[in-house]
Amino acid sequence: MRQDHGKHDWPWWKSEVITKLANNSWSFRIENSFGSSIFNSEKDKPLTWFLKLKDGLSDLHPDMSDSMINMKILRKCGGELKHAVKCRCVDPCSSEDYINAM
Protein backbone atom coordinates (compact mmCIF):
# COMPACT_ATOMS: atom_id res chain seq x y z
CA MET A 1 0.00 0.00 0.00
CA ARG A 2 2.87 2.35 0.77
CA GLN A 3 4.31 1.72 -2.70
CA ASP A 4 0.99 2.71 -4.27
CA HIS A 5 0.40 5.86 -2.21
CA GLY A 6 3.87 7.05 -1.22
CA LYS A 7 4.89 8.63 2.07
CA HIS A 8 2.13 10.34 4.07
CA ASP A 9 1.59 11.41 7.68
CA TRP A 10 -0.38 9.43 10.28
CA PRO A 11 -3.73 11.28 9.94
CA TRP A 12 -3.79 10.46 6.23
CA TRP A 13 -3.06 6.76 6.86
CA LYS A 14 -5.63 6.63 9.66
CA SER A 15 -8.35 8.03 7.39
CA GLU A 16 -7.41 5.54 4.66
CA VAL A 17 -7.58 2.59 7.06
CA ILE A 18 -10.93 3.76 8.43
CA THR A 19 -12.25 4.26 4.90
CA LYS A 20 -11.14 0.77 3.88
CA LEU A 21 -12.06 -1.19 7.02
CA ALA A 22 -14.82 0.79 8.72
CA ASN A 23 -18.19 -0.80 8.14
CA ASN A 24 -21.31 -1.62 10.15
CA SER A 25 -19.76 -4.63 11.89
CA TRP A 26 -16.71 -2.57 12.87
CA SER A 27 -18.96 0.15 14.34
CA PHE A 28 -20.99 -2.49 16.17
CA ARG A 29 -17.83 -4.04 17.71
CA ILE A 30 -16.53 -0.63 18.83
CA GLU A 31 -19.89 0.31 20.39
CA ASN A 32 -20.13 -3.04 22.18
CA SER A 33 -16.59 -2.82 23.53
CA PHE A 34 -17.32 0.67 24.85
CA GLY A 35 -20.64 -0.42 26.37
CA SER A 36 -19.15 -3.40 28.18
CA SER A 37 -16.01 -1.66 29.44
CA ILE A 38 -16.30 -0.67 33.11
CA PHE A 39 -13.18 0.48 34.96
CA ASN A 40 -11.90 -2.08 37.44
CA SER A 41 -8.97 -0.77 39.49
CA GLU A 42 -7.77 -4.31 40.25
CA LYS A 43 -7.27 -5.34 36.62
CA ASP A 44 -7.19 -2.12 34.55
CA LYS A 45 -4.51 0.54 34.39
CA PRO A 46 -6.11 3.99 34.13
CA LEU A 47 -3.95 5.17 31.23
CA THR A 48 -4.51 2.17 28.95
CA TRP A 49 -8.21 1.87 29.80
CA PHE A 50 -8.91 5.56 29.26
CA LEU A 51 -6.95 5.83 26.01
CA LYS A 52 -8.53 2.66 24.61
CA LEU A 53 -12.00 4.08 25.16
CA LYS A 54 -10.99 7.53 23.92
CA ASP A 55 -9.51 6.13 20.70
CA GLY A 56 -12.60 4.02 20.09
CA LEU A 57 -15.00 6.91 20.65
CA SER A 58 -12.98 9.35 18.56
CA ASP A 59 -12.86 6.84 15.69
CA LEU A 60 -16.56 6.10 15.97
CA HIS A 61 -17.62 9.76 16.40
CA PRO A 62 -14.91 11.98 14.88
CA ASP A 63 -17.03 15.11 15.29
CA MET A 64 -17.44 14.64 19.07
CA SER A 65 -15.52 17.14 21.21
CA ASP A 66 -12.82 16.02 23.64
CA SER A 67 -14.83 17.24 26.63
CA MET A 68 -17.84 15.16 25.55
CA ILE A 69 -15.62 12.09 25.06
CA ASN A 70 -14.13 12.62 28.52
CA MET A 71 -17.59 12.88 30.09
CA LYS A 72 -18.77 9.69 28.36
CA ILE A 73 -15.70 7.85 29.62
CA LEU A 74 -16.17 9.26 33.12
CA ARG A 75 -19.66 7.75 33.18
CA LYS A 76 -18.05 4.31 32.73
CA CYS A 77 -16.29 4.62 36.10
CA GLY A 78 -17.88 3.33 39.27
CA GLY A 79 -19.82 5.59 41.64
CA GLU A 80 -17.09 6.40 44.17
CA LEU A 81 -14.37 6.73 41.55
CA LYS A 82 -16.57 8.90 39.36
CA HIS A 83 -17.31 11.18 42.32
CA ALA A 84 -13.62 11.40 43.29
CA VAL A 85 -12.54 12.26 39.74
CA LYS A 86 -15.28 14.88 39.37
CA CYS A 87 -14.21 16.51 42.64
CA ARG A 88 -10.57 16.69 41.55
CA CYS A 89 -11.19 17.95 38.01
CA VAL A 90 -12.83 21.26 37.26
CA ASP A 91 -14.31 21.78 33.79
CA PRO A 92 -12.82 22.18 31.28
CA CYS A 93 -10.52 19.29 32.04
CA SER A 94 -8.06 17.57 29.72
CA SER A 95 -7.69 13.82 29.29
CA GLU A 96 -4.43 13.93 31.23
CA ASP A 97 -6.18 15.52 34.20
CA TYR A 98 -8.79 12.75 34.25
CA ILE A 99 -6.15 10.03 33.98
CA ASN A 100 -4.09 11.59 36.79
CA ALA A 101 -7.17 11.84 39.00
CA MET A 102 -7.93 8.16 38.49
pTM beyond cutoff 0.85: no
Whole domain around residue 11: which residue ranges?
2-101
Bigger pLDDT: 1 vs 33? 33
pLDDT confidence of residue 20: 72
Number of domains observed in the structure of the chain: 1
70, 91 contact by CB (below 8 A)? no
Supply the mean pLDDT for the chain.
78
Q: How far apart are CA 59 and CA 27, in angstroms?
A: 9
84, 101 contact by CB (below 8 A)? yes
